[in-house]
Structure 1
Amino acid sequence: MMAKKIIVIGGSAAGPKAAARARRMDENAEITIFQKSPDLSMASCGYPYFVGGFFDDRNKLLCTPTGAVRDPKFYWNAKGILAKVNTEVTKIDIKNKKIEFKDLTSGEQGSQEYDKLIITTGATANMPPIPGTNLNGITTLQSMQDADYLRKIRDEGKIKKAVVIGGGLIGIETLEALHLAGIELTMIELLPQLLTFLDWKMAKLVENYLKTKANVITKNGVAEFLGKDGKLSGVKLQNGTEIPCELAVVAIGVKPNVKLAKEAGLKIGALGGILVDEHMQTSTSDVYAAGDCCEIKNIITGNSVLAPYGDLANLEGRVAGENVIKGNVATFPGTQQTGICKLFDYGIGITGLSESKAKEAGMDFEKVVNASPDKPGFMDGKLLITKLLAEKTTGKILGAQCLGPGDVSKQLAIWATAIKGGLTVDDMVNADFPYAPPFSLAIDHSIASAHILQNKMHGIFNGISSLELKEKLDNKEDLFILDVRGADEYEQTRLGIGETLIPIGMLRKRLNELPEDKNKEIITYCKISLRGYEAAVLLQAHGYTNVKVLEGGVAAWPFEKEK
């Protein structure tokens, strides 16, 4: 029996994983990776941290856990895989099952036949269609070459002002990296908020934090790059404002790189990615695809999405690599689009649906915000703010957003697993997680979030979001707003929304200071609204019928506060 001929186009994340999995499934297969760039298996999510100086050895982005650089020699010796770098595949001939390629170093051209083909051509960084994009000093952070360029800028220390265009994951991480280099930074985002995968309030809390480190401009895009003698000197915004800068990093998303696939006649989806099934098989039976070039399914809504994440690329590549050898035995069911980023002392992330995406999907859901520490105060617990969504009829968890200086990654992992397993709020209220003070509270932040949501769904907790309260205030509705923190807390920070201060410990003695009308709308809160909830329960016990708790309290208030 002749050895199977497997060709993989693309050598970043999905491609090498697919090739390695295929090798483990079949020692005798002839496996070739074609990679256009000079590097293989780059840890592209690590680029901002190389730029920021978290580590200095460039090869760490290319290494195995044991420190071996994954170059062509490594792939041949360790895996028996032929890796051709600096080699561009120029055509896929599906009818004759072969590809054509060009060596970018020598200019030599050739062709190679395959039995099975895996396309992992990734994505291309978007560039705004505006004047001046050819000026020196404008870059993205999509490749090793981009990372090398920005690291050189960091090391030389000559640039004083820079702009980051785009407030998504890459933009946020790049800004931190350049800030560590001592560069004065401005982030420019065309949309009304940063990190559009978050709901507005959560994104606003991120923006408020980021403004302590850099200038932030939203609802205003770049209209033109300005230059002098071929070099970038500034950007002109859509409102006419000019911002001087010597460096601009464009991070306005990516688009699937599907040129080869499209020219070969493979089906492309409405979002611009290669269409694949759960086996990562394309519209042609002998051709598979994986990674950022594909459209995949959102497992909650069933809709196709683009999800250019390194972890998903590896998972998809593993499935494709197994199936080209074993037949369609492995499946990739889809994604719930879990994402996380680091911004100085904050972690920020989401798993599942945001409120806006749940509304788009026509789902009937309940939501809640919990602001509380990740560990006890005596263990230096740090704040976490979680927004949790669940389906009203079933209680099934739909999504969680989390941010703050606490352990965001742990929270997102918990909720991602809950969503994947189809768990409900009732399943989560008694979850048996490991507990010790160095790691969590006795009732973990995630379980507390489930408790609050369960209380809300059962009518025990009547919450109001900061956005809803702000709307009532703007409409000058007749409210009684009750802050039940201590006087010392109130002196440090107050919302300044016409609140009355009655500390929780004095509330029973001072009920006479509350409105006589027991039906008047009362909003209670404290720092994180735990005492606010206790106050609401107390007031309800004394006959007040329209009491609401400000979810997340002062800690989750996204608007300007008095100091």
Structure 2
Amino acid sequence: MSSQNIVVIGGSAAGPKAAARAKRLDQAANVTLLQKAPEMSMASCGYPYYIGGNFDNRDQLLSTPTGVVRNEAFFAGAKGVQARVNTEVTAIDRIKKVVSCVNVITGEKDTVPYDKLVICSGATPRHPPIKGINLEGVQALSEMRDADKLRELRDSGKVKDVVIVGGGLIGIEVCEALADSGMNVNVVEMLSQLLMFLDWELAKLVEKHVASKGVTVHTENGVAEFMGENGKLTGVKLNDGSVVPCELAVVSIGVVPNVDLARASGLEIGGFGGIVVDEHMRTSDSNIYAAGDCVEIPNRITGKKTYAPYGDLANLEARVAADNIVLGDSSTFPGTVNSGICKVFNFSAGSTGMSEKRAEAEGYEVVTATNASPDKPGFMGAKLLVSKMVADAKTGRILGFQCVGTGEVNRQVAEAAMAVMNGNTIYDIGVADLPYAPPFSLAIDHFIATAHILENKMAGLMTGICNAEVKEMIDGGTAPFILDVRSPVEFKEMRLNVGETLIPLGTLRNSLDKLPSDKSAEIITFCKISMRGYEAQRVLEANGWTNVKVMEGGIMAWPFKVEF
């Protein structure tokens, strides 16, 4: 091992990982980590939970599992890395192989030589050109100081009304944090739904849950202006002309990669605005690598470049970069399948791979299945999961999976992520050997059951219809015969109230005279989760009806209003 100089720019997620990994692999290397902010190794994904009061000590966001704060002394002593905070890199000289930097506190300037350089410059929140965005009270959530400010406002009790601009991951997590503190929260989303990684019908279940917590959700309605008096925010004017009074607005509409340094030094920038890297995380300069939210990486399904600013990927990319710097081209990073999850009050929402809409846009002929079912047996405290599987109609290859609910969403999405990465088909998953015990899952795990539903559909054993289609027919006045095969007790507790006919499954075979006499009439069956709905379809088809469809997911996946 040579005594090479390895310089890492950026001290949030990818930077510290690259620096520590490089030093572990080459103890003789001189590793320098340069960070503009006063903190390093910030667990930025934890900011909303600090704001929400899940814990009070902000240092927990900066600490090891044993409680040691990752500061300059920690990196020097435990990692052997020279870490410098409050140090902004201002230029990269690729010819001389030095970086210029300045201490943002003292103004002192310096240069640091490198043999190998890793750029982990991260990303910056989008700052839309909206009138009033610089008013006091309008802020993003990007740095520790943002989290500190929002926590201070939460604890002070001075803010009563808040608007969250953007219904993505961060927006929803901040929404929960502030709503739980007693604030009156409005979420404004310009698009037709929250959480764009979900298909519409699952996103609407999330929206329904958010609204049940007292949050007002405005979709298809962007911000026209931040309104204020004496330099302070007083309200948000929406595109429809309505005004939402507030003292605080948190703007969370995505991020853009920080590539000014890279661009100024002549490195190649991609179509998404991120630094172009190869499979070794090497940039267009063989001596410079990049990782984290500043880079573009491949989508593992399509092979196309994408932008995926996630903390877990940043760490994985940085590890690969460090390996290749020290060991040569020994490691590759194949890309992402866009796995993600977020907590939404006592709900969770996660996905991996492609949504139905995205898969169709990529040219796939897709088939989908929606499954609403418990995550474990009822005697073990079952909670609901509603999921949607997207597969290639020609091969059965699983292209994507989404899951929402109060149950163990993370397990389902993790299982699906491995299936998507491995190129598994619904037939592979239908016989998958997963760990089972009643405290953890059903005997046939929810993920496997979803594959079985899709397998039944592809085999022609089940014809499904999504709830959005059913609602569209009802609203359009062309509703078919809708058959509810639940029990009278279930019907009394909750019903669609769309003119459905109640015939419990146990009495269906003896009640066929109550169905349309025209055996070609369209009939839609459903129950609580539509397992009985599927049973009903099989019964009716065996008795000659030819146009029977199952409303997938049943009443538990119905994202519209129900009657109690």
For this structure pair, what is the TM-score category when the shorter chain's length is used for normalisation?
Answer: over 0.9
Q: In structure 2, what is the equivalent of residue 126 of structure 1?
A: 126
**In structure 2, C-alpha distance between the alignment counterparts of 1:428 and 1:379, rounded to whole Å:** 25
Deviation string, structure 1 residues 487-523 (Cα, Å, up to 9, x no partner): 1211222112221110111111111111111111111
**In structure 2, C-alpha distance between the alignment counterparts of 1:363 and 1:412, rounded to whole Å:** 21
Give identity over the alignment, percent: 57
**Unaligned 5+ runs, structure 1:** none
Q: In structure 2, what is the equivalent of residue 207 of structure 1?
A: 207
Q: In structure 1, what is the equivalent of residue 358 of structure 2?
A: 357
Deviation string, structure 1 residues 45-81 (Cα, Å, up to 9, x no partner): 0000000010111110001111111000000001110
Q: In structure 2, what is the equivalent of residue 488 of structure 1?
A: 489
Q: In structure 1, what is the equivalent of residue 451 of structure 2?
A: 450
Query: Alignment partner of 1:509: what SS?
Result: coil
Structure 2 counterpart of 1:174, one-letter code: V
**In structure 2, C-alpha distance between the alignment counterparts of 1:16 and 1:50, rounded to whole Å:** 22
Structure 2 counterpart of 1:443, one-letter code: I
Deviation at 1:185, TM superposition (A): 0.6
Deviation at 1:478, TM superposition (A): 5.8
Q: In structure 2, what is the equivalent of residue 383 of structure 1?
A: 384
Deviation at 1:22, TM superposition (A): 0.5
**Residues 49 and 177 in structure 1, CA contact (< 8 A), matched pair in contact too:** yes
Deviates more, 1:417-426 or 1:288-297: 417-426
Q: In structure 1, what is the equivalent of residue 10 of structure 2?
A: 10
Q: In structure 1, what is the equivalent of residue 32 of structure 2?
A: 32
Query: Alignment partner of 2:525: what SS?
Result: strand
Query: Alignment partner of 1:454: what SS?
Result: helix
Q: In structure 2, what is the equivalent of residue 501 of structure 1?
A: 502
**Residues 390 and 400 in structure 2, CA contact (< 8 A), matched pair in contact too:** yes
Deviation string, structure 1 residues 306-359 (Cα, Å, up to 9, x no partner): 101100000001001111111121110000000000011101011000011101
Query: Alignment partner of 1:63: what SS?
Result: coil
Q: In structure 1, what is the equivalent of residue 523 of structure 2?
A: 522
Query: Alignment partner of 1:204: what SS?
Result: helix
Q: How do 1:244-255 and structure 2 match up within 5 A?
A: 244-255=245-256
**Residues 478 and 521 in structure 1, CA contact (< 8 A), matched pair in contact too:** no
Deviation at 1:268, TM superposition (A): 0.4
Deviation at 1:2, TM superposition (A): 5.1
**Residues 470 and 479 in structure 2, CA contact (< 8 A), matched pair in contact too:** no
**Residues 386 and 557 in structure 2, CA contact (< 8 A), matched pair in contact too:** yes
Q: In structure 2, what is the equivalent of residue 59 of structure 1?
A: 59
Q: In structure 2, what is the equivalent of residue 340 of structure 1?
A: 341
**Residues 275 and 283 in structure 1, CA contact (< 8 A), matched pair in contact too:** yes
**Residues 466 and 550 in structure 1, CA contact (< 8 A), matched pair in contact too:** yes
Structure 2 counterpart of 1:471, one-letter code: E
Q: In structure 2, what is the equivalent of residue 327 of structure 1?
A: 328
**Residues 22 and 325 in structure 1, CA contact (< 8 A), matched pair in contact too:** yes
Q: How do 1:82-93 and structure 2 match up within 5 A?
A: 82-93=82-93
1:232 and 2:238 equivalent? no
Q: In structure 1, what is the equivalent of residue 168 of structure 2?
A: 168
**In structure 2, C-alpha distance between the alignment counterparts of 1:9 and 1:287, rounded to whole Å:** 11
State the number of aligned residues.
Answer: 563
**Residues 391 and 399 in structure 2, CA contact (< 8 A), matched pair in contact too:** yes
Q: How do 1:462-481 and structure 2 match up within 5 A?
A: 462-477=463-478, 479-481=480-482
TM-score normalised per structure 1: 0.99
Q: How do 1:284-299 and structure 2 match up within 5 A?
A: 284-299=285-300
**In structure 2, C-alpha distance between the alignment counterparts of 1:193 and 1:2, rounded to whole Å:** 54
Deviation at 1:378, TM superposition (A): 1.4
Query: Alignment partner of 2:212: what SS?
Result: coil
**In structure 1, C-alpha distance between the alignment counterparts of 2:127 and 2:497, rounded to whole Å:** 43
Query: Alignment partner of 1:92: what SS?
Result: strand
Instruction: Indicate how the Cα distance of structure 1 residues 561 and 109 shifts in structure 2: closer, same or farther if over 3 A, else same.
Output: same
Deviation at 1:470, TM superposition (A): 2.5
Q: How do 1:394-433 and structure 2 match up within 5 A?
A: 394-433=395-434
TM-score normalised per structure 2: 0.98
Deviates more, 1:188-197 or 1:485-494: 485-494
Q: In structure 2, what is the equivalent of residue 149 of structure 1?
A: 149
Query: Alignment partner of 1:206: what SS?
Result: helix
Structure 2 counterpart of 1:325, one-letter code: V
Deviates more, 1:429-438 or 1:305-314: 429-438
Deviation at 1:476, TM superposition (A): 3.4
Deviation at 1:545, TM superposition (A): 1.2
**Residues 227 and 236 in structure 2, CA contact (< 8 A), matched pair in contact too:** yes
Q: In structure 2, what is the equivalent of residue 218 of structure 1?
A: 219
Deviation at 1:471, TM superposition (A): 3.0
1:262 and 2:278 equivalent? no
Q: In structure 2, what is the equivalent of residue 279 of structure 1?
A: 280
Deviation string, structure 1 residues 280-305 (Cα, Å, up to 9, x no partner): 01111111000000011100011111
1:78 and 2:78 equivalent? yes
**Residues 168 and 196 in structure 1, CA contact (< 8 A), matched pair in contact too:** yes
Structure 1 counterpart of 2:554, one-letter code: G
Query: Alignment partner of 2:510: what SS?
Result: helix
Structure 2 counterpart of 1:86, one-letter code: N
